[in-house]
Amino acid sequence: MAPEDTSLPLAMVSLILHFSWNWVGLTISDNDQGIQFFSYLSTEMEKNMLCFAFVNMIPFQMDLYMSRAKVYFKQIWTSSSNVVIIYGERDSTLSASFRIWTSQGIQKIWVTTSQFDVTTSKSDFLPELFHGTLAFAHHHAEISGFKNLIQRVNPLKYSDEYLAGLEWMNFNCGVSASMCKTLRNCSSNSSLEWLIAQTFDMAFSDDSYDIYNAVYTMAHVYHEMLLQPMGNQEVHLPNCLKVIFLFDDTHCFLYHSLLEKAHFTNPVGDRVNMNQKEKLQPEYDIFQIWNFPNGLGLKVKIGMFSPYFPHGQQLHLYEDAIEWATGRRQMPPSVCSADCGPGFRKFRQKGMAACCFDCSPCPENEISNDTNVDQCVKCPEDQYANAEHIHCIDKTVSSLTYEDPLGIALTLMALCFTAFTSVVLGIFIKHHDTPLVKANNRNLSYTLLVSLIFCFLCPLLFIGHPNAAKCILQQITFGVVFSVAVSTVLAKTVTVLLAFKVTTPGRRMRFYLIPRASNFIIVICTLIQIILCAIWLGVSPPFIEIDAKSEHSHIIIVCSKGSMIAFHCVLGYHGTLALGSFIVAFLARNLPDTFNEAKLLTFSMLVFFSVWVSFLPAYHSTKGKVMVAVEVFSILASSAGLLGCIFIPKCYIILLRPERNSLKKLREKASS
């Protein structure tokens, strides 16, 4: 008659999930029914990522149980789980153990069935610690008249063992020692009416309801047999129905077949079907039971579970009833590890249960906006994670522009140096007939100053929002203009060397040889650089690159060099020209140069080398617009080094020491 508890594990797991528990203990009877329940429950637990803190199987044999009673008690007492599932029969060692555990002060939330007597002892009640019992009972309607009958029960009229077991609480009733069945010292007008909302349940228990249905089933079967044409039967109908059958094989077969087919609706409206294949899964009422001193228990229905509703809607709890029964809507937690909130991910250690884990912050640029996630989610390239690693925020698109403070500073530097170089060029043009300007090959000086002006203007191509044409133009302009400037310095050093080594004084040949040689050097050196740049453009030209990784909250748009080999070849060619200029100037440093041109060129090449040798490691160790700023600064610094080392001393003499810029002083210095 009793329905199978196949949906009970699902009902319990639904309740566990509702209260956000994931760490529960399990204690079952060590028999086929308990093992089957454990199999169903563990399957549901695994589906929902729930874990057992422990599993205790209580043997039926008392001697086996007593040998391990302390182990079972310690297991439950020391467990970090606040929830323990109890499943077994009423008359078993597990039932006795359950009463012992609750009486000895184990404060847990017990999840069990209505099979257990959950009434505690009369002492050691701690309401702030004890959270009661959640009991699952088969759902059935209230039997008409049963509640009124129980309310009128008086111990003087009934000497039933069941009533004696209630001890009649505060009725001052006692139980006689004789078989513990007879009640004594009871008030003549005592009744159970005041216990409606307390200890005594006014509805049938599961066992009583099964007996109730069994009686009606037998009645239906007997009724059907009476209607069958039978040859050998005797029917007596005194005050009540009494049927006597002579059960031969035919009667037994008929009785069994009718019993198998029995299906009807009982008086409370529930359907009874004896066909095992058509039996429906039971629905469950969920009760919250609080045990108070003196054996009083408060039983409140807090919800129900129906397997016939859609998934996720099978469990229905009455939140108001839970708050009334417990004093709060939130149940105590029962988890192995605290939840990993947003911004963190679960980190499981080897050998630990799935519910036990540590929390670690999400890696850089990854987020988690939910609790207990296994992996953080990486933000897209155009977004970045906020400080809490909860949200992805859109990155700001930026580049080294004229509105950027760094861009403004570099632009002002470039314009100032350009203006200063123009002033120096104007000074040299204005004083082109002075001995100092003539002695230092004024045509080469003009060429060098003009190339330096373009060198100072070249960084303006690096600043501002890049485009394809600008990316190509900035590198080609940088390569060609710097080649002109450095080759001009090389021509100056060669001019000084030729003036004293190739020709002898007094011959007119040197006045034709030196200008032609210097112009030839500039043209050849610049043409080689142009060829290198053409190869660069043909193989892998510069292009626009979107850099989303250099800065945390910005997308930097920069110009990629394209072929890094070609870029380093251009730089290497500049270094070769500078090295040649340095060597020639170093060889000519002690020649009787009137205005120390060779020494100034040597020092300018030292500055040039220092800047570009420092540029390479700095350039490769930076990213984004800082890398662009490093290149721009190197261009400005190396150009300023050439301007300052070669022309500032001459401008000083021209403007502030004009007496030294005369033919007389020139001859005196040459003769000395």
C-alpha to C-alpha distance for 324 and 270, rounded to whole angstroms: 30
Assign 350 a pLDDT band (cuts: 50, 70, 90): confident
Residues with Cβ within 8 Å of 233's Cβ and at least 6 positions away in sequence, in order, are: 244, 245, 246
Tens of pLDDT, residues 64-90: 888 888 889 888 988 989 999 999 887
pLDDT at 640: 92
Query: Among 261, 311, 305, which residue's Cα sits nearest to residue 285?
Result: 305
Neighbour tally for 78: CB within 10 Å: 8
**Are 559 and 471 spatial neighbours (Cβ–Cβ below 8 Å)?**
yes
3-state helix, strand, coil in the chain (%, to 5): 50, 15, 35
The 10s digit of each residue's pLDDT in 621-668 is: 887 788 889 999 999 999 999 999 889 988 888 888 887 776 665 555
Question: Domain 8-139+282-326, what fold?
Answer: Rossmann fold (3.40.50)
> Which of 33-37, 99-103, 460-464 has the weakest average pLDDT?
99-103
Q: Which is higher by pLDDT, 585 or 293?
A: 585
Residue 399 CA, chain-centre distance (Å), reads 31
pLDDT band at 26 (very low <50, low <70, confident <90, very high): very high
Q: What is the pLDDT of residues 175-233, one digit of tens each?
A: 444 444 444 445 445 444 444 444 445 556 677 777 888 888 888 877 777 776 654 45
Higher per-residue pLDDT: 508 or 553:
553
pLDDT band at 593 (very low <50, low <70, confident <90, very high): low
Mean per-residue pLDDT for 485-507? 72
- Between residues 257 and 324, the one the model is more confident about: 257
Whole-number percent of the chain with pLDDT over 90: 22
Q: What confidence category does residue 153 fall into, taking pLDDT thresholds of 50, 70 and 90?
A: low
Q: Which residues contact 4 (CB under 8 A, 6 or more apart)?
A: 279
- Between 121 and 283, the more confident residue is 283
**pLDDT computed for residue 213 by the predictor:** 80
CATH 1.20.1070.10 region(s) of the chain? 405-671
Give span(s): CATH 3.40.50.2300, the chain. 8-139+282-326
Q: State the pTM of this model.
A: 0.56
The reported pLDDT for the residue numbered 649 is: 87
With 80 as the cut, is the pLDDT of residue 297 above it? no
pLDDT tens digits for 109-124? 889 887 765 544 444 4
Residue 203 pLDDT: 55
- Arithmetic mean of pLDDT over the chain: 78
Q: pLDDT value at position 239?
A: 41
Q: What is the reported pLDDT for 62?
A: 85
CA distance 644 to 600: 10
Report which of residues 275 and 379 the model is more confident about. 379
Q: Please name which of 654, 641, 657, 660 lies closest in space to residue 594, comparing C-alpha atoms.
A: 660
Distances (CA, A) of 535 to 9, 372, 528, 529, 541: 76, 57, 11, 10, 9
Res 125 pLDDT > 90: no
Domain at 405-671, CATH class: mainly alpha
Minimum mean pLDDT among 131-145, 168-182, 415-429, 646-660: which range?
A: 168-182
- pLDDT of amino acid 289: 77
Name the region of 453 (left: φ>0; alpha: ψ -120 to 50; beta: rest).
alpha
| pLDDT in the model for residue 60 | 84
Predicted confidence (pLDDT) at residue 586 exceeds the cutoff of 50 = yes
Element (H, E) at 183: strand 183-184
Residue 137 has a pLDDT of 85
